[in-house]
Structure 1
Amino acid sequence: MFAKQFETHDRISNTRIDCARNEASLKHLAASRLFRERGIDGVGVADIAKAAGLTHGALYAHFKSKEELAAAAFAHGFATNMAGARAWVEANKPKFSDLLTAFLSASMRDRVETGCPMTASASEIGRHGCEISTCFTRAFREQLELIEASLDDGMPAVQKRRLALATVAAQIGAVAVSRAIKKADHALANEVLEAMRTTLENAYLYDDTAAPQAGRADKKPPPHRLPDVPSR
């Protein structure tokens, strides 16, 4: 349901994009898909031009470098996906557990070229310049706000932010790891996603670092807790 909402916003045909799309949209859409599918370093300007049905000159007329195009493509891909996410959230008013199910799903993992650009490009961003890092950071903050909004209003702000930060970072990492494992061990790849969903939900339900939250005061601690690590 959530995944399908995203797919409708970012689709490119094998022949030619709908004539109603302008040239800028063609460049952004083609580049966004290719960068997510092959990686920033694995895509050349010629590949993007071919996918968009444009010439090299048309691309370079708008972007000074591939780095600038990559930043614009990342921003376009995330904005498109986030628009679908916000529409789904507005229509369904999901709980935190619902967002975990959506973001840490096999469908999200398997849709590399139309899925979240952060999960597709996180390992590469650090090797590139400030412009694309800024785009990634902006996207991370938007995702963070979406997660925070799903948490109980009674939860202290510091606690909400900490859990939301951990959730977004864990989602990016878990989906990336699951993708890396899937071809060799499909069951283990799915187990990674399930383990992360369960761990994050338990962290929300059983966090005892603050006062009990409304609707969760009767929850018992999980049966197996790791001991606290003493500070040095």
Structure 2
Amino acid sequence: MRVSREKAQENRKQIIEAAARLLREHGFDGIGVADIMKAAGLTHGGFYRNFASKDDLAVKASEHAIADRMALLKNGLAQQQPQDPLRAVVESYLSSAHRDDPGSGCILPALAADAARRDDPALRAVFITTIQYYLDQIAKLSSASPRAGSRHPAAILSEMVGAVILSRVIANDPLAESLVAAVVADIAGPSPRRASDEE
């Protein structure tokens, strides 16, 4: 049975969205095509009508995942604290919500190690674009930050990504919260709320 062009596009979108979530949760090698298609509510046979290979889907899914994170920044996350927009971004990135839900989070802590082991220039290009985007955004936000203005954006990004990775390993241990709090304070300074409590 043939499907309309609109339905075919909808199916493709469902597959990419399912893959973007599952790949971030399980890694590139931790989930199969059949599982992705099942999560998308489609049969396995429809996969190759949409993608040349699982690697092709991995690239499309990674592009989709970072587009979501870019939209989060563009839609005003930094405006939550206009006096210190970098703090808003750092606190959101290092939040327990991001830590505990890798399927909807940033691809860097979820998949960068996997991507580094794959000989796929197209996939690496997605990660390079992602890293450059974050560096550009951090540079812009740092200029308005009272503490981070002198720090290199690459150091800030590396600290943020590393903190998410480590906090996911120890998620149910109190050490995770203290680790994240230390990184937020290192990048953006002590929490204004905590500082006012101490006065």
**TM-score of the alignment, normalized to the shorter chain, above 0.5:** yes
Structure 1, unaligned runs of 5 or more: 1-18, 203-232
Q: Distance in 1 between matches of 2:85 and 2:144?
A: 12
Q: Distance in 2 between matches of 1:153 and 1:182?
A: 31
Aligned to 1:218: none
**Aligned mate of 2:46, from 12, 33, 58:** 58
Whether contact under 8 Å (1:148, 1:161) holds in the other structure is no
Cα distance change on mapping 1:154 and 1:51 into 2, 3 Å: closer
**Aligned mate of 2:70, from 64, 79, 82:** 82
Aligned to 2:136: 145
Q: Which moved more, 1:87-96 or 1:69-78?
A: 87-96
**Aligned mate of 1:192, from 174, 179, 194:** 179
Q: Over aligned residue pairs, what C-alpha RMSD do you find?
A: 2.5
Superposition TM-score, scaled by structure 2 size: 0.80
Letter matched to residue 54 of structure 1: L
Q: What is the CA deviation profile of residues 173-206 of structure 1, one whole-angstrom value per residue up to 9, with x for unaligned ones?
A: 11011001124x2x1011111111112235xxxx
Aligned to 2:29: 41
Structure 2, unaligned runs of 5 or more: 1-6, 190-199
Superposition TM-score, scaled by structure 1 size: 0.70
Cα distance change on mapping 1:28 and 1:60 into 2, 3 Å: same
Q: Distance in 1 between matches of 2:42 and 2:136?
A: 37
Q: What is the CA deviation profile of residues 17-53 of structure 1, one whole-angstrom value per residue up to 9, with x for unaligned ones?
A: xx8x812210110000100111111010000111111
Letter matched to residue 167 of structure 2: S
More helix by share: 2
Look up the SS of the partner of 2:59 in the other structure.
Answer: helix
Larger radius of gyration: 1
Letter matched to residue 184 of structure 2: R
**Is residue 108 from structure 1 mapped to residue 95 from structure 2 by the alignment?**
no
Q: Which moved more, 1:81-90 or 1:69-78?
A: 81-90
Whether contact under 8 Å (2:78, 2:86) holds in the other structure is no
Letter matched to residue 49 of structure 1: M
Aligned to 1:176: 165
Whether contact under 8 Å (1:78, 1:117) holds in the other structure is yes
Q: Show structure 1 runs of 4+ deviating over 3 A.
A: 89-94, 159-162
